[in-house]
Structure 1
Amino acid sequence: MPALQFPCTIFKTRKWMDDYHASDMRCGDLFESQLKEHFHLVDVSTRVNPYTLTKITPFSQPQSMFHGSRGEGEKITRQQCASILFDEFRDLSRTFALYGPYKPLIAQMITHMQTANGAPFRHMLLDRALREHILNDNSPENSTRILLERAFSTKSDWRNKYYPAKEKDKLREIILGGKLPKFDRFQDNLNGMGITVHDTWATHITIKSLNIDNDSFRAVIHYKVQDHFGLDSDDISNVKFNQFRFFRIWFVLQRYSQFGFKPFMTNMEATIEITGTRK
């Protein structure tokens, strides 16, 4: 019976890595009329009107009882308007990142959207967050780490000291039965990870090595996770998102034909060690 050879990728999500054709990766594809009529994006910013390229004064705010009585505000260029929108975008992000080491990430990712022209984003804090999530998930039913540990303990060929190649598909089934690391926990709504990543797009899990000695084992597992920093039509149509000016500004900066700032891939990786004994 042959042994499983390493490194060995045991799990890939159905969604692809680097899928630039995904709906939330579109940019600059919507006109003013579509944004207003289909997505109700009339009141976008408190500082500028992205459609007329004018600064907003207390008298020109749509909700003001004096709206229209003093004319429009100061005319600005498209570049100036985008810069003001990004500043407001960053300021509003603070309510989603109140504490902890990951707090600075959202502002950095917004700036990346503003300046990097769609280049992928990678940061050591994202890798740290992923690793901590995997190691701190102690749910016997959901933790992919615990589920893999259980599989190595029970499915390994202990006499010959290897993991049988024929049991590879079992590892994928086991992972499918758990929950992949995502930042949708309550604390992620406050620590900044819920707004920077939240759900994830694609995940690959690879066994880099598995050493079996007597009645114990040591496995090194690599997680590669990718998300999209972008919004699709379903996102902004959801009242949960549309009610926040933060997301309205984000959608206009990304999807309005006069701006078209590119969304980007958010990449993170983590390598963990799993140890256990024969069962």
Structure 2
Amino acid sequence: MSETTQSPVEALRFPCTVFRTQRRMDDYGADDMRCGDLSETQLKNDFKLNHVSSKVSPYTLTLAKQLKLRAYGYGFEADTDLKSKKITRQECANILFDEFRSLSKQVSFYGPYQKLIGKMIDHMQKGNGAPFRDMLLNAALKEQIHSDNTENSTLLLVKNALTDNIDWEKKCYPEEVKSLLTTAISSGRLPKFDRLQDRVNGLGITVHDIYAAHITIRSLQIDNDRYRAVVHYNVQDHFGLDDDDIREFRNYSLLFRIWFVLQRFNQFAYKPFMTNMEATVEITGNQK
């Protein structure tokens, strides 16, 4: 009678990408990546964007009346003939971008990340759609990952999946249960910047949510009953507005009206761009 032989455990090799969002990286066909696709009539009729700026009209290319200090309080300047205030399209865009930057300070005035929105507005104005990276974004992502202590934390779910499925006798993570890592992460909540502090530190306006993410375990070291893993997050968002964004936020602030018109009005068509972030974090655990 022949003896049954067990198949050897095949170890998962690292680095190994264990999770990808359904939405893909570098998706330039996404709704919020459109630009220059709307006419004045569409902006006014479909999106109710008749009033866009307190400084200028992007439709008539004229300056708005401005309040000036008078002897007995504030009043409009004497010259109220807006036709005499005609400006070029480039001058109009520059004024809108300056107002965009000024308004952004209302939602970005506290903490180490507050200058990010200014950098990203500058990039929209001058970057011609090129991807954007910044060390502050990477630091913000890493801080968010570490600070998430909820049961839905993707980092905690990776840790639990490793602890539960490592073959401690063979000192490896079996390749055949790789899917358990993916399933665990899929049940969690990817990093977002929708906390209370993100309303004032600039992260809510610059990133808020993420569009796509890849999570990779770069290395796994197992010693006796302990392990050490290095996990890399590659995350991407879009600095752009889609139709739903403006319908939701147009009454909230002129900021979104200006942003939407600069991006989507066919007379401006400033390109949105990919916001790329990455963070590498280390986790350790013990055999149960």
TM-score range (shorter-chain normalised) is: over 0.9
Contact 1:56–1:73 under 8 Å retained in 2: no
Q: What root-mean-square deviation, in Å, do the aligned CA atoms of Structure 1 and Structure 2 show? A: 1.7
**Greater C-alpha radius of gyration:** 2
Tell me by how many angstroms 1:58 deviates: 3.9
1:166 alignment partner AA: E
Partners of 2:55 and 2:64 within 8 A in 1: yes
Matched, 1:109 2:117: no
Cα-to-partner distance string for 1:19-51 (whole Å, 9 max, x where unaligned): 001010000010000000000001100111000
* Residue 166 (structure 2) aligned to one of 136, 152, 156: 156
Counterpart position of 1:167:
177
> What's the counterpart of residue 3 of structure 2?
none
Choose from 269, 280, 285 the match for 1:276: 285
* Counterpart position of 1:79: 90
Contact preservation (8 Å) 1:133, 1:181? yes
1:253 corresponds to 2:265: no
Query: What's 2:144 paired with?
Result: 133
Query: Hey, what does 2:201 align to over in structure 1?
Result: 191
SS at match of 1:204: strand
Question: What is the match of residue 36 of structure 1?
Answer: 44
Aligned residue for 2:187?
177
- Structure 1 residues 175 and 97, CA, compared in 2 at 3 Å: closer, same or farther? same
Are the aligned partners of 1:56 and 1:72 in contact in 2 as well (CA < 8 Å)?
no
Q: Is contact 2:34-2:272 (8 Å) kept? A: yes
Is 1:142–2:159 an aligned residue pair? no
| SS of the residue 2:169 aligns to | coil
Distance in 2 (CA, whole Å) between partners of 1:120 and 1:246 is: 22
Q: Runs of 5+ in structure 1 lacking a partner?
A: none
Q: Do the aligned partners of 2:14 and 2:217 also contact (CA within 8 Å) in 1?
A: yes
Given the superposition, is the C-alpha separation of residues 2 and 218 from structure 1 closer, same or farther in structure 2, using an over 3 Å criterion?
A: same
- Answering whether residue 24 of structure 2 is matched by residue 13 of structure 1, we say no
Contact kept, 8 Å, 2:38 with 2:266, in 1: the verdict is yes
1:228 corresponds to which residue? Answer: 238
The CA deviation at 1:136 is: 1.1
Q: Distance in 1 between matches of 2:104 and 2:206?
A: 10
Distance (whole Å) between structure 1 residues aligned to residue 57 and residue 27 of structure 2: 33
**Secondary structure of the equivalent of 2:263?**
helix
Aligned CA distance change for structure 1 residues 107 and 70 (closer, same or farther; 3 Å)? same
| Letter of the structure 2 residue corresponding to residue 135 of structure 1 | H
Q: Distance in 2 between matches of 1:213 and 1:71?
A: 76
Identity %: 59
Deviations 1:58-87 (A, max 9, x none): 49xxxx999xx7454500000000000000
- 1:126-159 superposed Cα distances (whole Å, 9 cap, x missing partner): 00000011111111x2111111111111110000
Number of corresponding residues: 272
Q: Contact conserved, 1:57 with 1:73, CA < 8 A, in 2?
A: no
**Corresponding position of 1:51:** 59
For 1:199, what is the secondary structure of its paired residue? coil
1:90 to 101, 114, 121: 101
| CA distance, structure 2, for counterparts of residue 37 and residue 206 of structure 1 | 46
Instruction: Look up the equivalent residue of 2:240 and give its one-letter code.
Output: G
- Counterpart position of 1:124: 135
Distance 2:230 2:19 in 1: 15
Distance in 1 separating the partners of 2:28 and 2:84: 38
Q: Structure 2 CA distance, aligned partners of 1:242 and 1:206?
A: 40
Kindly indicate whether the alpha-carbon contact (under 8 Å) linking 1:183 and 1:194 is maintained by their aligned counterparts in 2: yes
Q: Secondary structure at the match of 1:249?
A: helix
How far apart, in 2, do the equivalents of 1:71 and 1:107 lie?
A: 30
Q: Is the 8 A contact 2:65 2:82 kept in 1?
A: no
Residue equivalent to 1:263: 272
* Residues in 2 aligned to 1:236 and 1:195: alpha-carbon distance in whole angstroms: 13
| Structure 1 length-normalised TM | 0.94
Whichever residue aligns with residue 177 of structure 1, its letter is: S
Residue 190 (structure 1) shift: 1.2
**What CA distance in whole angstroms lies between the structure 2 residues aligned with 1:201 and 1:86?**
25
Is 1:4 aligned with 2:12? yes
Partners of 1:31 and 1:257 within 8 A in 2: yes
